[in-house]
Structure 1
Amino acid sequence: MKQTIRIARTELQLLFYSPIAWLILIVFTIQASLVFTGSLEGFVNTKELGYPLHSVTLNLYTDPWNGFYAKLLGYLYFYIPLLTMGMMSRELSSGSIKLLYSSPISDAQIIFGKFMSVAAYALLMTGIVSLFTLYGVFAVDNFDLPATLTGLLGIFLLIGAYGAVGLFMSSLTSYQVVAAMGTFAVFAVLSYTSQLWQNVPFVRDIMFWLSISGRTNEFIGGIISSEDVIYFLVVIGLFLGLSIYRFRSVRQKTRASVSLVRYLLVIGSAVIIGYLSSRPALMFFYDATRTKLRTLTKASQDIVRKAKGGLTITTYGNALDEDRLLIFGLPPFELQDMRMFREYIRFKPEIKMKYVHYYAKGNNEQSLNMRYPKLSDKERVGKIAQTFGLDSTMFVPVNDLHKMKETLAGEHFRHVKVLQRDSGQQSVLRIFNDPMLFPSEAEISAAIKRLVTTLPKVGFVGGHGERDCIKEGDRDYNKFARENTFRYSLINQGFDFEQLTLDQEVPAHVSILVIADMKTALPELHLQHLQQYIDRGGNLLIAGEPKRQETMNPVAGLFGVQLMEGRLVRPNKDFQADLLFAHPTQEAGKIAEAFGLIGKNRQIVVMPSVAGLQYNNAAAKGYTATPLLAADTAGVWNELETVDFVDDSAVLNPAAGEAAANRTATAVALSRQVNGKEQKVIVLGDADCISNGELGHSRKDIFPANFLLIAGAFNWLSDYQAPVDVARPPFTDNDIHIGKTGFKVSKIAFTGVLPGLMLISYLVIWIRRRRQ
């Protein structure tokens, strides 16, 4: 060990007596300073402009894609080849290698000694980065230091891996420039391996594991994974081992065949260790973030824990799918797809991922007819497979899938995943028509929860002109109740639903009943069946509309609520007077987290044409009433005369009985104890606010929270069973302690003073050495 340390010390002296090591440090410091201050300036400007900041530690440092660490990694590979290119090449070209051959020092001691000098230099570079991290401790309010330390560990390991590669390449040639170029070439190969042989499962796993690209993302994000730590240690060990055997083969004049066997032994050992370390059952994780941002929420962990036994997630990829979805069903994407479920596999290693490739006509038929007008479906698949370099025989016709054909047809043959337990229970997990595209934790956990528990069944009452949950019209509820490709629809958040009529008793399995905008009143028999459902303690969502008071009040009156005559209005120069912006009450946040988020996010619920609600008689009916939404803006009144808000203007007319109505409730929650459980009812004065048309509507400078209204309402009505609550503790690092002046001083210190001190240090060492 003493010899190893002595070699390391000698190598470090050579490095720091030469200008190259100092030049790399100075340039690296300047570049890191520019990257950091460039990111910091955005936060300073945002604060100066009066906008609030949010999760500064994450956005400034630990974002795996746009944070300071991630941006800095893009430059690291430029420096290490310049540092390592002469470590062995210099010995070979100068002839000093013969002294090492003749010395009583082992090959391993020489290589480890030189690598220790690289590790020390890596530690120094990491120390420079840590100065920017230490700055955050003082500059950022409630700085999440542990989350940033994992990023520093990732940077150190990456530099160490780069150094091991550079050391090996330096041992192959006496030309330093060739060694540097070879190191760059190996970096390129290690970054590209994840793209090679992706059609061969075992080889694909190995090549994907060997890829260095993205290996530091989890470190930067605040999580330490045993697989990633082992990866860097294996890469370092692999190239150090190759360097030792290369040194030995030259020193002992070993035959090429023997050297080849040794090299293959080292590589094979690395591959085996790497493959085993990537097995889910052998992986370990530590989440260093304050809010455990990189770990499943407790609600999701509880759901996964209940899913005992085997669980298979089968992805069905259609070769004739929509253009933007096609790539996600092809073999090269499979390993990336698996990483989406890594957090779930962490808590349930027995999850199996399967992929089925088929073809069927879906929503892409028009595009296919335009591109391949004369080809059959099978020929089209051949063309597509040829484009991606795949074997077309891997895609089977959908008719060969037998039992799954009906399920896939119900999904319009789109890219879809089917979750299945060993017991045979199935649940569908979809991708969505939004920018995010892939399911988030909320949707994945909801799909698993459908397998392990009986989730609420929602019944939509029909037969009296109510809003439809199947149709796609603007006034209907298809988007939030039925549409598969809309992320926030009930079916994607864990609910089942059905349409029913009240000409017979409400089925026992229905736990939430929706009655929306009836055009005709309920006949006596239907009222009796509704009353029976209420008496057994069933939950309800009742949505009325202005001009529907006559038909809706008999139903709302069962709970002591009445829709007021007329409608609430507030004249606005940009919108119709009957377009109302409702705000959540303070009590609403105690009922459901989603209601509280509306207020925290300073959003509003847009209610086109809403009737005010009176609930004075709720107590007499045995219910406790809580207002959820209210028209709490000044200038609101209850309009009784005007009905045409396009050509006419609404004017407050007290003589007609019109009166100011600010603070009037537009949504009310009611509850009571019945049959040993809490019965819950929500009454809305507007049915349009959760319609297809409104959910798809956007208005300039208006930030609606109607989606949160739906989520909060059904979360409460389902006794918080769905949607799955994946909320995390709020971020507390939401401010910085510097302004424009402080930023300017900091920028000068980082980009000028710090590199200047390094330059002065080098000049002092150089002058002292010259004197000696």
Structure 2
Amino acid sequence: MKIIFKIARAELRHLFYSPIAWVVIVLFFVITGMGFVSSLKELARIQEVSMENSAGFEGFFDGLTLKLFMSSIGNALSYFYLFIPLLTMGTISREHNTGTMKLLFSSPLRVRELVLGKYFGLLVFNFILLCSIGLLLLTGALSIKDADYPIYLSSLLGFFLLSNTYLAIGMFISSLTQYQIMAGIITYLVFAILGMADKFGQQYDLVRDLTYFLSLSGRVDFMILGLITSRNVCYYLLIIAMFIGFTMIKLRSLQESKKWTVSFTRYSVLSAIILFAGYFTSRPGAVAYWDVTRHNDNTIDSTTQAVLRELDGSPVTVTLYTNLLDKKVREGLPENRNKYLWGFWENYLRFYPNMKFRFEYYYKLDDNSFFKEMYPGRTVEQMVDLQVRTHGLKRSLFQSRQEIEKKIDLSDEPAKLLMELEYKGRKTILRTFTDNRNIWPTQMNVAGAIRKLVRDSIPRIVFSTGHFERSPWKYGEREYAMHTAYKEAGKALVNTGVKVDSISLMEKVPLPGSDVLVIADPKSALSAIEQERVMDFLNRGGNALLYAEPGKQEILNPLLNRIGVNIEPGVLMNFNINTSPVDVRNELNTAGNAMAREEEMQRHFLKKKRSAAGLFNSAAELSWKEIDGFTITPVSVFEGNQKVWRENGYLGLDSALATFSDAEGDVMKDGYPMALKLSRTVNGKEQRIVVAGDADFMSLKNHSGFTIGVGFYSWLMNNEYPVYRTVHFKTDKFLTIGRKTGNLLWNVYVYILPAILLLTGLILVIRRSRK
């Protein structure tokens, strides 16, 4: 060990007396410092201006811990590999050029001591080099109020492992040639190849897994985001061990006069051991995870984890069906399979590793497919041939529509990328969505699909028909399909584990239990039989949602009056010269926000200034009287003032400005309830009913509930569906410095400290040359 330390010290001394090493230190510090301080200075300027112009400035939307470093540290990563060859190109080749290698071989020094000593010397120098990044992270920690400190340590660990991997590779390349410049050039090429390794041969299973393991790109990104995994740490350690081992094998081959097959065998055995170890350290169930972020931002939510625990350990088979005639086909092709498995499913494999993956490829043309415009006049088979050539695929990989439908019924599914989950004989569809920035399903979608597999009873949202109600199947601006049954919308109920159905009240009514009856703005009166059937459903404890509209009070009042609710005559007015007076944007009150876990509802309790809101058009006021054991609570009350009233007279929106008229029976109050929740106990079970004085706020035109979302439906399903994620407020939203401090830091990191480093290097190099 003493010999290793002596060699490390000699290597470190050589580096510090080398002009190239000091150039690397200064350039790296200046470039990273400029990237960091420019971001810091700009954020300080924005915060100062915002606070000067807005007393209610609530800080930056995203947490500053990551916001400040993602751009600057990301840029540092993109050019970091450029500096390493300058340090390693002479590590071994220098000994050949100076003739000291023969002396070293003739001494009792062992090859492993020589290699480890030189590598440890490089490692110490690398640690000093990375202190510049540590200094920047420390500055950021002191400049951000309530910074998420563990992320800094995770980022430094990632940089340290990556740079040490670069050093091991560079040292091995240096042992292959006596020419330092050649060693540097080859090292650049190897880094480039390893950085792009996962782009080659991805259509072949064996090649894809091998190149994915060897690829250097992307692994450190997880650590910068605050997620440390044993898979990535082991990867770097194994690659380091492999190239240090390669260096030892190379130097030993120079000492020995043996056939090349001996060295080749050693390389092969070591490579096999490393690949074998890498395979087993990356298997699901063998990977350890440490999410160091304050709110576990890199981990699926505890609610999703609870859903996964409903599985009993039996295998879940996931089959990805990729349609060649889909705009997003590339995401499902073999070239992106590792991205699909490790980028999407790893989050769930972490908590349920017993998942098996299968892949099916087919072609099916939708009636509204853009391929018809892209390839006008072409047959489906001709389109397939063109797509196959475009993506460089085999034609035999893809099954026809008839062949694939022998395996799965896709007749009611959009011809897009989708997955089928199978568990203990049950199957369900998990869809992808083009309306998301990331096409893959969200945690809410995955949790809903899994509950379909494990639960015997799935809730149904049942819409009444026969009176021209709002439809869960239509996509018009007044209709409800977008938030109920539209399969291509990620937040639609049908994609969160809920069944959507419709029913004629003249034929039957849904059964109380998991079913929720929805009567959405009927245009004609319900018959006596239909009213009795609805009341029978309610009297037996069924949950219901009733959407009313002003001008049609007489349609639902006969039914609502029997549960203590009345739709008042007239329409709510909100005088505003810029908008229609019947347009009302209203927030839920505290009781309304407590109904579900929609994002804005959660935010209300984290920060009282926020609240879920809906965009109401022509809303009616509701009144109530508690009868038959019901507890009735308003959940959306429009606050009254001199510009708000209930209009009971003639309303001509296209002729003149609406005005309050006492003579016409207009009513002005302090508040106007627009939505109510009702509850009571029936047969030992809580019954829940929601009545809304407007149906437009859930329409496509009004953004399907806006930030209320499907919160009312969730409450009616006892908040078991959808499975919402927990919302956390970022606390690192303010800087502790202003513009002046930002400018001072710029001068320190870009001019003063680099000048000190440069001067120190010059003094050392000059003194060394004089000696």
TM-score (norm 1): 0.94
SS at match of 1:302: helix
Which residues in structure 2 correspond to 1:166-565 (within 5 Å)?
166-308=170-312, 309-321=314-326, 323=327, 325-339=328-342, 340-363=344-367, 365=369, 367-368=371-372, 370-371=374-375, 373-374=377-378, 376-406=379-409, 408-453=410-455, 454-503=457-506, 504-508=508-512, 510-565=514-569
Letter aligned with residue 298 of structure 1: S
- Is the aligned partner of 1:579 residue 2:583? yes
C-alpha separation in 1, matches of 2:731 and 2:603: 16
2:615 aligns with 606
1:648 aligns with 656
Once the two structures are superposed, residues 725-767 of structure 1 have per-residue CA deviations (whole angstroms, 9 ceiling, x without a partner) of: 2114332222221111121122222222322332233244345
2:12 aligns with 12
Seen in structure 2, the aligned counterparts of structure 1 residues 554 and 710 have a Cα distance that, compared at 3 Å, is farther
Which residues in structure 2 correspond to 1:585-600 (within 5 Å)?
585-594=589-598, 595-597=601-603
Letter aligned with residue 34 of structure 1: M
Letter aligned with residue 276 of structure 2: I
1:700 aligns with none
C-alpha separation in 2, matches of 1:693 and 1:591: 24
C-alpha separation in 1, matches of 2:374 and 2:139: 58
Decide whether the 8 Å contact of 2:612 with 2:707 is kept in 1.
no
C-alpha separation in 2, matches of 1:72 and 1:632: 53
Decide whether the 8 Å contact of 1:543 with 1:684 is kept in 2.
yes
Decide whether the 8 Å contact of 2:697 with 2:706 is kept in 1.
no
Once the two structures are superposed, residues 244-264 of structure 1 have per-residue CA deviations (whole angstroms, 9 ceiling, x without a partner) of: 111111222332222222222
Once the two structures are superposed, residues 253-276 of structure 1 have per-residue CA deviations (whole angstroms, 9 ceiling, x without a partner) of: 332222222222222222222222
Seen in structure 2, the aligned counterparts of structure 1 residues 741 and 61 have a Cα distance that, compared at 3 Å, is closer
SS at match of 1:428: strand
Seen in structure 2, the aligned counterparts of structure 1 residues 299 and 692 have a Cα distance that, compared at 3 Å, is same
Seen in structure 2, the aligned counterparts of structure 1 residues 298 and 246 have a Cα distance that, compared at 3 Å, is same
Match of 2:63 among 42, 56, 71: 56
SS at match of 1:234: helix
Decide whether the 8 Å contact of 2:472 with 2:484 is kept in 1.
yes
Decide whether the 8 Å contact of 1:611 with 1:666 is kept in 2.
yes
C-alpha separation in 1, matches of 2:33 and 2:373: 54
1:83 aligns with 87
Q: Compute the displacement of 1:482 (Å).
A: 0.9
Q: Compute the displacement of 1:348 (Å).
A: 1.0
C-alpha separation in 2, matches of 1:228 and 1:745: 38
C-alpha separation in 2, matches of 1:490 and 1:600: 28
Once the two structures are superposed, residues 469-503 of structure 1 have per-residue CA deviations (whole angstroms, 9 ceiling, x without a partner) of: 11222221111111111121110122111101222
Q: Compute the displacement of 1:221 (Å).
A: 1.1
Which residues in structure 2 correspond to 1:159-170 (within 5 Å)?
159-170=163-174
2:734 aligns with 735
Q: Compute the displacement of 1:625 (Å).
A: 2.3
Runs of 4 or more, structure 1, over 6 Å off, are none
C-alpha separation in 2, matches of 1:60 and 1:402: 47
1:724 aligns with 723
SS at match of 2:81: helix
2:53 aligns with none
C-alpha separation in 1, matches of 2:174 and 2:487: 57
Decide whether the 8 Å contact of 2:253 with 2:263 is kept in 1.
yes
Decide whether the 8 Å contact of 1:420 with 1:427 is kept in 2.
no
Q: Compute the displacement of 1:224 (Å).
A: 1.0
Q: Compute the displacement of 1:553 (Å).
A: 1.6
SS at match of 2:258: coil
Once the two structures are superposed, residues 643-682 of structure 1 have per-residue CA deviations (whole angstroms, 9 ceiling, x without a partner) of: 3323332111122221324531212222222221211111
Q: Compute the displacement of 1:295 (Å).
A: 1.0
C-alpha separation in 1, matches of 2:609 and 2:202: 46
Decide whether the 8 Å contact of 2:37 with 2:746 is kept in 1.
yes
Seen in structure 2, the aligned counterparts of structure 1 residues 124 and 455 have a Cα distance that, compared at 3 Å, is farther
C-alpha separation in 2, matches of 1:660 and 1:742: 55
C-alpha separation in 1, matches of 2:719 and 2:613: 23
SS at match of 2:590: coil
Decide whether the 8 Å contact of 1:399 with 1:405 is kept in 2.
no
SS at match of 2:515: strand
Q: Compute the displacement of 1:114 (Å).
A: 0.9
Q: Compute the displacement of 1:307 (Å).
A: 1.6
Letter aligned with residue 435 of structure 2: N
- Is the aligned partner of 1:684 residue 2:692? yes
Once the two structures are superposed, residues 537-575 of structure 1 have per-residue CA deviations (whole angstroms, 9 ceiling, x without a partner) of: 111111111111111222332332222211111122321
Letter aligned with residue 676 of structure 2: V
Decide whether the 8 Å contact of 2:649 with 2:665 is kept in 1.
no
Seen in structure 2, the aligned counterparts of structure 1 residues 45 and 363 have a Cα distance that, compared at 3 Å, is farther
Seen in structure 2, the aligned counterparts of structure 1 residues 327 and 304 have a Cα distance that, compared at 3 Å, is same
Decide whether the 8 Å contact of 2:514 with 2:717 is kept in 1.
no
Q: Compute the displacement of 1:769 (Å).
A: 3.8
Match of 1:93 among 69, 91, 97: 97
Decide whether the 8 Å contact of 1:427 with 1:451 is kept in 2.
no
Once the two structures are superposed, residues 387-444 of structure 1 have per-residue CA deviations (whole angstroms, 9 ceiling, x without a partner) of: 22211101011212344442x2211222111111132332433323343432122212
Q: Percent identity?
A: 30
C-alpha separation in 1, matches of 2:681 and 2:512: 19
Greater share of residues in helix: 1
Once the two structures are superposed, residues 681-700 of structure 1 have per-residue CA deviations (whole angstroms, 9 ceiling, x without a partner) of: 1111110111122227xxxx
User: What CA RMSD, in Å, does the superposition of the two structures yield over aligned residues?
Assistant: 2.0
Letter aligned with residue 710 of structure 1: G
Decide whether the 8 Å contact of 2:511 with 2:542 is kept in 1.
no
C-alpha separation in 2, matches of 1:755 and 1:320: 56
SS at match of 1:542: strand
**Structure 1 unaligned regions, length at least 5:** 697-705
Equivalenced residue count is 754
Letter aligned with residue 175 of structure 2: S
Q: Compute the displacement of 1:508 (Å).
A: 4.5
C-alpha separation in 2, matches of 1:395 and 1:423: 26
TM-score (norm 2): 0.94
C-alpha separation in 2, matches of 1:45 and 1:613: 49
Decide whether the 8 Å contact of 2:467 with 2:525 is kept in 1.
yes
Q: Which moved more, 1:740-749 or 1:222-231?
A: 740-749
Letter aligned with residue 329 of structure 1: G
C-alpha separation in 2, matches of 1:655 and 1:207: 81
Q: Which moved more, 1:586-595 or 1:441-450?
A: 586-595
C-alpha separation in 1, matches of 2:432 and 2:526: 38
Once the two structures are superposed, residues 136-172 of structure 1 have per-residue CA deviations (whole angstroms, 9 ceiling, x without a partner) of: 3322121111122111100000000011111111111
Once the two structures are superposed, residues 31-74 of structure 1 have per-residue CA deviations (whole angstroms, 9 ceiling, x without a partner) of: 11111112223422332232521343443356xxx444323211
SS at match of 1:512: strand
Decide whether the 8 Å contact of 1:141 with 1:734 is kept in 2.
yes
C-alpha separation in 1, matches of 2:640 and 2:102: 88
